[in-house]
Homo-oligomer: A and B are copies of this chain.
Amino acid sequence: MDRNLIKRFTHFLAVVEEGHFGRAAARLGMSQPPLTAQIQMLERALGVKLLERTRQGARPTWEGEVLLPAVRRLEESALAVEALAREVKLGRRELVNIGCITSAMLKTLPPVIRAYRKQRPETVIAVRELDTSDAIEALRRGEIDIAFARLERDRFPIRIAPLATDRLVVALPDSDPLAAEDQIDIAALQDRPLVMLPRAISPAYFDGMVAACRVAGFAPVPAREVNSAMAQLALVASGLGVALVSSGMAMLAPPGVAFRPLLQRVEAVGVAVAWNSERENPICREIVQIARDIAVEQG
């Protein structure tokens, strides 16, 4: 990747938003001619014209329009990093806040909450659905006290207790020929478009899935990326691809989707309960213990 292009994409966005090279330059704190030069360099590097220039200013070409949403997300990611860095520099809760990934929401969490509630009926329990990476971050910042997420090791100050191993299963459109089989050889997915979650959302899921495909001799080709496990299932139901998902998702019975186990028993990183050791308190300890006990009972 040519990293010098990254900044230029944000310049492109400024011009689109201002619709005018001069005003965009002012906003970026520079003069107009070098901004023109940067946009032209970007266009040359991509081999695509991104802006139509008129006397009334500039507006995106069709190609520019297609790129725009992704460029916006890049800008927002950069702003998010910047904002987070500011907060980290400054360094700073109640009740028990639990974060939980989608696939643990209906399988792992309810029995834990039921048991905890028997012991501590007066504690307020708040639950948020979060993906693994957001859950880790929320633990660090003290926004949640406990997380149920797909993690395999401690990372100071986050401590974990593994609750279960997990397996990957195939989610298919129920009209798919492969759905007629009881089990599916992972190699059969070689040329199939895969609906995947980005690595950032759940690194363990992503790495486990990539590793399993590689062992079978191919690199998974992401046909689509989506931002949630539910969206993954929706695209499968829409016929846009198949997905390797955790077995926890098979507890849902969404119409249009068939779940099939893999012929190869592909272990995935299971759900663990996690907490921030710097913010450990009796409630945390109790919930963690309950989660462990239940995991042992369930084998």
Contact = CB atoms under 8 A, between A and B. Distances in A.
A214 interface: no
Most chain B CB inside 10 Å of its own CB: which residue of A9, A85, A198, A254: A85
Nearest to A115: B238
Most chain B CB inside 10 Å of its own CB: which residue of A62, A77, A97, A109: A77
B78 A6 contact: yes
Q: How large is the interface on A (under 10, 10 to 19, 20 to 34, 35 or more residues)?
A: 35 or more
Interface in A65-115: 65-74, 76-82, 84-85, 88-89, 93-95, 97, 100, 102, 105-107, 109-111, 113-114
A198 B143 contact: no
A238 to B, nearest CB: 4
Contacts of A226: 126-129
B67 A74 contact: no
B81 A113 contact: no
B85 A81 contact: no
Given A1-B78, A226-B126, A134 B69 contact: yes
A234 B89 contact: no
A157 interface: yes
Nearest to A14: B3
A230 interface: yes
Given A228-B129, A231-B105, A117 B73 contact: no
Nearest to A233: B106
B117 A88 contact: no
Interface in A1-47: 1, 3-7, 9-10, 28, 46-47
Nearest to A227: B128
Contacts of A117: 238-240
Contacts of A5: 82
A100 B93 CA distance: 32
* Across the A-B interface, the 3 shortest Cβ-Cβ residue pairs: A113-B238, A129-B228, A253-B253
